[in-house]
Amino acid sequence: MNDIARVAGVSLATVDRVLNDRPGVRKVTIAKVQTAIDTLGYIRDTAAANLARKRVYTILFILPATGSEFVAGLEEAIRDQSQKLALDRTQLRVAKATPFDPQQIVAALDAVDPHEVDGIALFGPETPSIRDAVRRIRARGVAVVALVSDLPSSDRDHFVGIDNLAAGRTAAQLMGRFLRIQGTVLVLTGSRLARDHLERRQGFDLVMADEFPGQQVVASVEGRDDPALINDLLTRAFDSYPDLVGIYASAADHAGLIQYLSQSAPGKGPVVVAHELTPMARRALRDGVFDAVINQDRGHLVRSAVRVLRANVDGVPFNPTQERIRIDIYLKENLPA
Amino acid sequence: MNDIARVAGVSLATVDRVLNDRPGVRKVTIAKVQTAIDTLGYIRDTAAANLARKRVYTILFILPATGSEFVAGLEEAIRDQSQKLALDRTQLRVAKATPFDPQQIVAALDAVDPHEVDGIALFGPETPSIRDAVRRIRARGVAVVALVSDLPSSDRDHFVGIDNLAAGRTAAQLMGRFLRIQGTVLVLTGSRLARDHLERRQGFDLVMADEFPGQQVVASVEGRDDPALINDLLTRAFDSYPDLVGIYASAADHAGLIQYLSQSAPGKGPVVVAHELTPMARRALRDGVFDAVINQDRGHLVRSAVRVLRANVDGVPFNPTQERIRIDIYLKENLPA
DNA sequence: TTGAAAGCGATACCAG
DNA sequence: CTGGTATCGCTTTCAA
């Protein structure tokens, strides 16, 4: 900046104004500075900038208040990042809202103080009232991204999560390949409200129909993360379809499923493809109860949300390819330690 | 630091000395400062420290000089990181050494000036002369990590790369699961010198023998990344084993293999599991020539190497779990865009 | 519309 | 052994 100031024949303060698009600089002056910047090949030192600014970014994660291992894992990832980001002048907060109750999320969103919170990562269903609440808080100058489950109806949206259609396709490819005999494949889903589950189901059906037409995929059953309900559903499914050879668990809560499988299908059970590498899923994979798990790295989700929101707050662009969350596949052989 | 200085009743300079283990401070003073640090819950601001220090870390990557797409991808990842790390006062350099010639690597290692280079990430074979050269440069105060292929014989080693035994196991699980009929499985490797290839082969054999005893795995053939040679080897293999149903390509150069498969096995070829998601591998996966690809993220490799080397240079510990490189599995369905 | 100067949190050099 | 102080690259008053 000193060099630029010298070359442009202005003061440091003016260079700063130009660099940060601050008002109160004549066009000619801007041009002079701009030229100097270009010729000198200047790259800004964000660390120094933040140091001087003493700015602290506050980012709020709004998560569903379930006892789900997946959400617990997300919270852990958030705590993890908190540590590191403290040095980076970024503060992370978490709020919980009852799932399946949009009004709570709306309330949480409306309760946000724009002076206290710079950005929000929202993991919730896609409903009109939530969409409106997102609009409102954005209008008050807070950046918002959708987390895990997309909210495409809201404008200027960025989504932090995997491509769930592709994830469903991946699940289907694994299922189809792993199945040795023809039969019925059951899709076990969480809730119809959740857009991520819907998309997975869609992708799964497409590939199964296309590439494995010999297998019969039956209408999904909604488990709502309720072990008792799931137990019930599965019992009925195995009754109705004696040739049940595969289960695609597109939701993230595996308690009911694992419980049922471990007790009712001793030895050789159906091929099971599930989502999210939770502690339970790890064990199931290791024990041969699950055959494959599709995962989205929770650390990546959190880091990406933070990066995108910070970029948004600063009004700078981010690198979309870097922010694409990968669809991880785990077998028992490549489980991380 | 100001607070600490005040509470401890010493100057900033002394606090700095204690904080950085610099010599020339009495024990009592150290204790006073230490107490102040503890009571105040001080966390050091690395950004400010680096700013003041104006220190620039220089890290050298020594890579095999092949035309391989994998190495090209690594170089690209290094360039990518260079951009971002410039702001972080870290400079990345790349040197190439002919593979299969340990002496060149030794020469490259010996040529390093400890005043210019702080750390080295070495991607090379495991030979006694290289091990000695690593010892020498370490003795001169330069940190070294092994990249992609482990060098476990050298002491104080850290390895940046995947667990290749587990990777081989993963490949075998995919191969065994994907195969629909019994037959012969061929392992195509790069070089016997490369420890990573050996380990993969080992893991592959174990799981094939254990879980898929119906399949016959035949002794690996060494392609040395030579398309003509590979073409030749494959022709002979298909002659010798008319029931060849699967190929495990444990090396990273796919040119010869893909060329052979696309011309000689029109339509339904063998099940192919390969390593490294290079542009060629992507196409092969998309076109159905490859069935699965096992990958180690090149960006992760580079970032991890840099983090570990910087920690090493600074004499601070790093988080081993964070530095574990994952074994990625790609099918055509979860290919990143 | 512009400039001067005081920090931000840490390091490093020179004195004492 | 210890302290004072200039400095790193940038932001932010306060004046002019």
Q: Are residues B177 and B239 in the same domain?
A: yes
A242 within some domain: yes
The pLDDT tens digits of the residues spanning B56-92 come to 889 999 999 988 899 999 999 999 888 778 777 788 9
CB-based contact B173 A333, cutoff 8 Å: yes
Top-confidence residue, A229 or B295:
B295
Residue B48 sits at the chain A interface (C-beta within 8 Å):
yes
Strand D contacts in B 11-30 (CB under 7 A): 11-14, 17, 23-26, 28-29
Q: Give the residue-averaged pLDDT of B30-53.
A: 88
A187 within some domain: yes
**Residue B195 CB lies within 7 Å of the nucleic strand D:** no
Q: Are residues A181 and A65 in the same domain?
A: no
Rounded-to-integer distance, Cα B61 and Cα B150, Å = 15
Domains identified in chain A, total number: 3
What is chain A's pLDDT, residue by residue, as a tens digit (337 residues)?
889 999 999 999 999 999 988 888 999 999 999 999 999 888 888 888 888 888 788 999 999 998 889 999 999 999 988 877 877 778 899 999 987 788 999 999 999 998 889 999 999 888 899 999 999 999 998 999 999 999 886 666 799 999 999 999 999 999 999 999 999 999 998 777 788 899 999 999 999 999 999 999 997 777 777 788 888 889 999 999 999 999 999 988 899 899 999 887 555 789 999 999 999 999 999 999 999 999 999 999 999 999 999 888 877 788 888 899 999 999 999 999 8
All residues of chain A having their beta carbon less than 8 Å from the beta carbon of residue B45 are 51, 87
Q: Are residues B289 and B302 in the same domain?
A: no
Kindly state the percentage of chain B with pLDDT values over 70: 97
Residue A328 sits at the chain B interface (C-beta within 8 Å):
yes
Strand C contacts in A 22-61 (CB under 7 A): 23-26, 28-29, 48, 51-52, 54
From the alpha carbon of B25, which nucleotide's C1' atom is closest?
D1
Rounded-to-integer distance, Cα B236 and Cα B218, Å = 13
All residues of chain B having their beta carbon less than 8 Å from the beta carbon of residue A48 are 47, 51
Give the CATH number, domain containing residue A25. 1.10.260.40
B331 within some domain: no
Rounded-to-integer distance, Cα A37 and Cα A160, Å = 34
Integer distance in angstroms from CA B62 to C1' D6? 40
- Coil, strand, or helix at residue A292? strand
What letters, b where the CB count within 10 A reaches 16 and e where it falls short, cover B197-225?
A: bbbbbebbbebbeeebeebbbeebbbbbb
A10 within some domain: yes
B49 within some domain: no
Residue B85 confidence (pLDDT): 81
**Which residue range(s) make up the domain with B59?**
54-160+298-325
Q: Are residues A128 and A200 in the same domain?
A: no
From the list B297, B268, B281, the residue with the least C-alpha distance to B331 is B281
Q: Using H for helix, E for strand and C for coil, what is the string for B84-149?
A: HHHCCCEEEEEEEECCCCHHHHHHHHHCCCCCCCCEEEECCCCCHHHHHHHHHHHHCCCEEEEECC
Looking at residue A118, what DSSP letter applies? Answer: S
Residue A89 confidence (pLDDT): 79
Residue A325 sits at the chain B interface (C-beta within 8 Å):
no
Looking at residue A323, what DSSP letter applies? Answer: T
Residue whose tokens read 């180690």: B296
In chain A the first and final C-alpha atoms are separated, in Å, by 47
Residue B267 confidence (pLDDT): 56
Contact A134, A109 (CB under 8 A): yes
Looking at residue A94, what DSSP letter applies? Answer: E
Residue A106 confidence (pLDDT): 95
Rounded-to-integer distance, Cα B44 and Cα B132, Å = 37
B148: left (phi over 0), alpha (psi -120 to 50) or beta: left
Residue B76 confidence (pLDDT): 95
CB-based contact B326 A337, cutoff 8 Å: no
B337 within some domain: no
CB-based contact A47 B172, cutoff 8 Å: no
Q: Are residues B62 and B106 in the same domain?
A: yes
Residue A323 sits at the chain B interface (C-beta within 8 Å):
no
pLDDT beyond 90 at B211: yes
The pLDDT tens digits of the residues spanning B124-154 come to 888 899 999 999 999 998 999 999 999 886 6
Q: Are residues A139 and A207 in the same domain?
A: no
Give the CATH number, domain containing residue B113. 3.40.50.10550
Q: Are residues B109 and B168 in the same domain?
A: no
B48 within some domain: no
Integer distance in angstroms from CA A12 to C1' C4? 10
Q: What is the pTM of this model?
A: 0.90
Residue A172 sits at the chain B interface (C-beta within 8 Å):
yes
Pairing between β-strand A143-147 and β-strand A159-160 as defined by DSSP bridges: parallel
Q: Are residues A303 and A220 in the same domain?
A: no
Sheet strands side by side (includes B184-189): B216-222, B184-189, B244-249, B271-275, B292-295, B328-330
Beta strands in A76-183 (DSSP E): 90-97, 119-122, 143-147, 159-160
